[in-house]
């Protein structure tokens, strides 16, 4: 006696599983690419100014909180920097900001986002692997279409 579900239900389940994997992948990639493109455009127009470190949050991965002025207005930002340079409260630092939205700033440069598509590529490979493993799993437990 064959307990496997009928072929039509197997096809529907495989299609639905594939569609879910694809939709999840498409959503993450589209948001990631939109964010990357936005950062790239900001990097093209970014300007630099001098800021001052006003706090170092040791309990928050060593985040540096800083303030800077643009056009007479004062803004604040905070960032964790890989390799944590040795900064102290009161130190002067270079701050890159978006001239269209001066409250948006970074201590690195907006142009350092060139590697962002790499995680998206890895996510694509992972989605393909998940899809293929899922299809293989479903083939094992469902009768193939004839």
Residue 98 φ/ψ, nearest 5 degrees: -90, 115
Rounded to two decimals, what is the model's pTM?
0.54
The tokens for 38 are 């936005």
- Cβ contact 38:54 at 8 Å: no
Per-residue tens of pLDDT for the chain, all 146 residues: 556 555 556 567 777 777 887 888 788 778 777 777 777 777 778 888 999 999 887 776 668 889 999 999 999 988 777 665 677 889 998 888 889 989 888 877 655 555 556 676 777 788 788 878 877 777 776 665 55
For the segment 2-40, what is each residue's pLDDT rounded down to a tens digit? 565 555 565 677 777 778 878 887 887 787 777 777 777
Tell me the helix, strand and coil percentages in the chain, rounded to 5. 45, 25, 25
């Amino acid at each position: 006696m064959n307990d496997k579900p009928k072929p039509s239900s197997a096809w529907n389940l495989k299609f639905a599983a594939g569609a879910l994997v694809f939709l999840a992948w498409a959503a993450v990639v589209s948001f990631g690419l939109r964010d990357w493109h936005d950062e790239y455009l900001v990097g093209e127009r970014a300007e630099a100014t001098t800021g001052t470190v006003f706090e170092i949050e040791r309990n928050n991965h060593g985040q540096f909180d800083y303030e800077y002025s643009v056009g007479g207005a004062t803004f604040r930002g905070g960032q964790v920097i890989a390799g944590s340079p040795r900064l102290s409260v009161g130190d002067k630092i270079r701050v890159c900001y978006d001239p269209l939205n001066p409250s948006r700033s970074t201590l690195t440069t907006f142009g350092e986002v060139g590697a962002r598509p790499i995680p998206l590529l890895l996510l694509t490979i992972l989605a393909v692997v998940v899809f293929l493993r899922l299809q293989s799993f479903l083939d094992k437990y469902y009768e193939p279409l004839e």
